[in-house]
Amino acid sequence: MNLKSIKLAALLAAGGLVALSGSMFREHRFFQEPTVAGPGVTEVKKLSDFSPVIAGSVNDCNVYILDSGVPGGTAFIIGGTHPEEPASNLSAQMFVENAVVEQGRVIVVTRANTSASQITRNGEAYPRFYTVQTPWGEKKWRMGDRCTNALDSWPDPEVYVHYPSGQNLAYMDIRNLNRTWPGRPDGLVTERTNFAMMEMIRNEDVDVVLDYHEAELEYPVENTIVAHEKAQAVAAMTSMMLTSSVFPVPIGMEFSPTALHGLSHREIGDHSQAMSLLAEVAEPMLDRIRGITDEELLMSGRDRFVMKAGEHKLLYAPIDESGWPIDIRVGRHVTTFMTILDVFNQVDPSKAIVVSGIPSYQEMVDNGLGIYFKDPSSVPSDRVFID
């Protein structure tokens, strides 16, 4: 074979690989995730209905409203802030598909940063999708990144100057939905997303906000509730109740730092009437010392390298052969919100928010998550929404 033939073969091989990878990227970016509006969903709006600054953008997400019609308070669940943390959006979707609100209202966003769910982290070899087995088949979601897709937010600054504090943050944090609160109406898409959600929180008179997250076991803010000053009493009692009688691994409570800006637990409480909280749970796939980065690790939370780090006391959460499976992670998040409501209702009965239809922590651990997700093909088309 002469040199020209070798070059041609190499060019064709490279072209084939580019075409294959391009088709895989496209499949991931445009994959549609159906969400079934459960029996408690009374209305589905777009985020742009609350602020036009996000209209026409990829982050004009669905806003699910569960209104009892009975006077009470309003809670807001934020899922999908960081789409590389699947327990976040799965927990939010559990409420959309199962919850019935008997007093007050619950507002849910399952994909707060849709753009970040359409790309995975560069160089990390993340799986493109993850699945949950259900009685009716396999339910599939996009795996995402921590930050907004650069295709939707460009260019990054040399240094991100947070608004309105003026604090200097890392350049990529202008695409991190949990560094750009409270947002601004004329910023890049991530800042506009935060601004639109803040407008909704203020105008809908939201009382309680819970932002769902996951964290690597090497990270000290782990298996905990981070609370604004307004929410400290509620968070402390929630932590004690869950640790004493529900969760085998304790859930802590931490104060939101006043000097670090852009985070939901700080800025929502500072810039609205709502008490703001953030819940963290362990996700071993985010650890830098992990092994093979695949769907098995993502969903089972089992990794021998992370376990070895634990043996050397390098982690802030325990891990053994059972790992941190998605059922436990979602179960902790869902139960944390339900307990927050129980405590909040005792603190201010005039703004009670009463929710039913949600399985207990032990039921989710014993049964798995699959039985709680509805089959989109079995319900009327007007009850299915694409996230």
Residue ranges of alpha helices (H) inside the chain are 3-29, 86-98, 189-203, 232-245, 264-271, 295-300, 304-311, 326-347, 361-367
Characterize 90-100 residue by residue with b for buried, 16 or more Cβ atoms within 10 angstroms of its Cβ, and e for exposed. bbbbbbbbbbb
List Cα–Cα distances, 93 to 59, 303, 354, 358, 367, in angstroms. Answer: 17, 27, 18, 11, 17
The CATH number of whichever domain residue 250 belongs to comes to: 3.40.630.10
Percentage above 70 pLDDT, the chain:
100
Q: What is the mean pLDDT of residues 363-368?
A: 98
With contact defined as beta carbons under 8 Å apart, do 92 and 109 qualify? yes
Could you tell me the residue range of the domain that residue 73 belongs to? 31-386
Interval 269-303: pLDDT, tens: 999 999 999 999 999 999 999 999 999 999 999 99
- Does position 2 have pLDDT exceeding 90, yes or no? no
Task: Give the pLDDT score at 353.
Answer: 99
Task: Give the pLDDT score at 251.
Answer: 99
List Cα–Cα distances, 170 to 67, 132, 175, in angstroms. Answer: 39, 35, 10
- Does position 159 have pLDDT exceeding 90, yes or no? yes
- Does position 249 have pLDDT exceeding 80, yes or no? yes
Structure tokens at 378: 């079995």
Residue count of the chain, please give it: 387
Letter for the amino acid at 22? G
With contact defined as beta carbons under 8 Å apart, do 276 and 77 qualify? no
Structural domain includes residue 53: yes
Structural domain includes residue 23: no
Q: Residue 109: beta bridge partners? A: 78
Which has more confidence, 5 or 115?
A: 115
Structural domain includes residue 18: no
Structure tokens at 245: 């009688």
Q: Is 19 exposed, middle or buried (0-12, 13-18, 19+ CB in 10 A)?
A: exposed
Interval 173-211: pLDDT, tens: 999 999 999 999 999 999 999 999 999 999 999 999 999
List Cα–Cα distances, 185 to 19, 51, 277, 304, in angstroms. Answer: 38, 9, 24, 46
Interval 302-358: pLDDT, tens: 999 999 999 999 999 999 999 999 999 999 999 999 999 999 999 999 999 999 999
Interval 116-130: pLDDT, tens: 999 999 899 999 999
Nearest partner of 145 among 193, 84, 95, 195, judged by Cα: 84
Structure tokens at 259: 């000097």
Q: What is the mean pLDDT of residues 260-267?
A: 99
Interval 43-54: pLDDT, tens: 999 999 999 999
- Does position 1 have pLDDT exceeding 70, yes or no? no
Structural domain includes residue 19: no
Angle, vertex CA 201, rays to CA 54 and CA 51, nearest 5:
25
Structural domain includes residue 95: yes
Nearest partner of 385 among 28, 41, 25, 40, judged by Cα: 41
What's the rounded Cα separation, in Å, for the pair 264 and 225? Answer: 12
Structure tokens at 154: 């460009």
- Residue by residue, DSSP assigns 231-289 as GHHHHHHHHHHHHHHT-SS--EEEEPPTT--S-HHHHHHHHSSSEEEEEE-B-GGG-TT
Interval 52-68: pLDDT, tens: 999 999 999 999 999 99
Q: Is 330 exposed, middle or buried (0-12, 13-18, 19+ CB in 10 A)?
A: buried
Task: Give the pLDDT score at 300.
Answer: 98
Structural domain includes residue 20: no
List Cα–Cα distances, 19 to 24, 101, 184, 380, 385, in angstroms. Answer: 9, 48, 39, 38, 31
DSSP letter at 142 equals: E
Structure tokens at 203: 């105008």
Domain count, the chain: 1
- Whether omega for the bond prior to residue 71 falls within 30 degrees of 0, making it cis, is no
List Cα–Cα distances, 9 to 4, 12, 149, 176, in angstroms. Answer: 9, 5, 34, 42
Structural domain includes residue 126: yes
Is 72 in a helix, a strand, or coil?
coil
Interval 94-114: pLDDT, tens: 999 999 999 999 999 999 999
Structural domain includes residue 51: yes
Cα distance between the two ends of the chain? 52
